[in-house]
Amino acid sequence: MANEAIQTKEKNPLGYKPIGSLLVSFSVPAIISCLINSIYNIVDQIFIGQGVGYLGNAATTVAFPVMTIILAFGTLIGSGSSAYAAIRLGEKREEEAERTLSNAFLFTIITGLLIMAVGLIFLKPILSVFGATEKIMPYAVDYTSIILIGTPFNLIGIVLSNLARTDGHPRLSMYGMMIGAVLNTILDPVYIFIFHWGVKGAAIATITSQIISAVVLTAYFVMKVKKPIHMRLHRNYMKLKRKRITSFLALGVSSGITQSVACIMQVVMNNSLVYYGDQTQIGGDVALSAMGIVMKIAMIMGAFGVGVGIGAQPILGYNRGAGQYERIKKTYKIAVSFATLLIFVCWIFCQAMPETIIGIFGNENADFTDFAVKCLRIYLFGIFCAGFQIVSTNYFQATGQPLKASILSMLRQLLLLIPLILILPLFMGLNGILYSAPIADVASAVIVAFFIVPEMKKLNQHIRQKPELKEEGEQAGVSL
């Protein structure tokens, strides 16, 4: 009995702990981390709306694609290296997992510096493409230029938060992001209302918070921690190896595509809002500002699905490496149910109290408030389907099926939403942009089901072929 207890303690909990409690312990910190990442932008918009006005909020909407590009690279590297390391840990190849961590860290720094340099050099042309009008441009330049300076630290925080979860420390990811978010919330009103720095103050508060988060997460991987398994940053492992980098980037490409497509969608939407908004009494600047707030609210709702998907990834990846198919299936089913429930609750709240939610961001302009409420109700009407699609995409990514994950990553936004944004306004004007989202949400959920049903049948076949794994899981205390 004593020997069995020692062996169990030395095993990775991803392979033997009950799925339900394991998923909660990994997903809740991941959800909080995703919410905190969204709150960075939401807090900026709240204080900018109150201290600068709707033009300041419109500037953050124009800058949002830039931040999405940064997030795309962060999730590409972070999700990919996390999934790759989880599979290696499941195969008992701990040294390869550590080499992956160190390669990912150095690759992240190089990527961050390149994005910062390119962004600053071509800032005004980029913002023009992203929808900045003559009135919005000065605010957008002030805000975005500072955000770009913090790019390397932002990327480090995103990447290491993913790897901290794979290392069995999901709370660290949450704490690192939480410290930054609290600091951002404190500094925003100080810089905007006391120092009168306007949108520059909001951007400075954001990058200061991102630096603190990056330092906290880096410190964890440098320190010696007494754990059965703990990946550490090693200088000797930081020599970039092409095969390793391409391997983990292949696994992260679906997450990177999701964010890259989101950037394309935001650019198309921003320009469409300005064009069709100028044809109404609302005006393009007001339409852009209002939809920017709704998109940030959508990010918060989506954060629940993304957080559950991220939390499930190391569990799925480890058990895929270990060949425990029953645990893979149960993890997926619980994750989909959990994500759908959380987003549905948020959806009910948005449909019932849109005026209250929009009022938080300021109400200086009646046209702005009325259109923002309309956007919130219509544009987010089908978002309750998002949990199913997000978790399913993460499932294929975590189990080493990057092609399917990439297809599903592009499905909603690139293959459905962008064409609808371009086509529907031709017949419905500005309203066509609003109705494009619920149609895309429902249609994408139906298509995802065609990928998932055969996958579940395949898992059932593996389970029937390896019944001994199910018995071992039950003996280890797993409720199947």
Residue whose pair of structure tokens reads 């309309």 in the numeric block: 374
Q: What average pLDDT score do residues 204-221 get? A: 91
Q: What average pLDDT score do residues 384-391 get? A: 92
- Long-range contacts of 401-408, Cβ-Cβ distance < 8 Å, separation of 24 or more: 402/250, 402/251, 402/253, 402/254, 404/451, 405/253, 405/254, 406/253, 406/254, 406/257, 407/451, 408/254, 408/448, 408/451
Q: Are 139 and 54 in contact (CB under 8 A)?
A: no
Integer-rounded Cα radius of gyration of the chain: 22
Lowest mean pLDDT among 9-23, 76-90, 242-256, 466-480: 466-480
Q: What average pLDDT score do residues 89-101 get? A: 87
Q: Given pLDDT bands bounded at 50, 70 and 90, which one contains residue 40?
A: low
pLDDT computed for residue 362 by the predictor? 67
User: For 309-326, what is each residue's pLDDT tens digit?
Assistant: 988 988 998 888 888 899
Q: Given pLDDT bands bounded at 50, 70 and 90, which one contains residue 226?
A: low
pLDDT computed for residue 61 by the predictor? 87
Distance CA 81, CA 171 (A): 19
Return the percentage of the chain with pLDDT > 90, whole number: 45
Q: Which stretch of DSSP H or E encloses residue 437? A: helix 430-465
Q: What average pLDDT score do residues 118-124 get? A: 97
Distance CA 392, CA 394 (A): 5
- Long-range contacts of 90-93, Cβ-Cβ distance < 8 Å, separation of 24 or more: 90/12, 90/14, 90/15, 90/317, 90/318, 90/319, 90/320, 90/321, 90/322, 91/321, 91/322
Instruction: Evaluate if pTM is beyond 0.85.
Output: no
The contacts of residue 170 (CB under 8 Å, 6+ apart) are 25, 26, 28, 29, 30, 164, 311
Distance CA 351, CA 333 (A): 27
Distance CA 270, CA 285 (A): 10
Which tokens belong to 354? 């849109």
Lowest mean pLDDT among 306-315, 326-335, 379-388: 306-315
3-state SS of 441-453 is HHHHHHHHHHHHH
User: For 141-163, what is each residue's pLDDT tens digit?
Assistant: 999 999 999 999 999 999 998 89
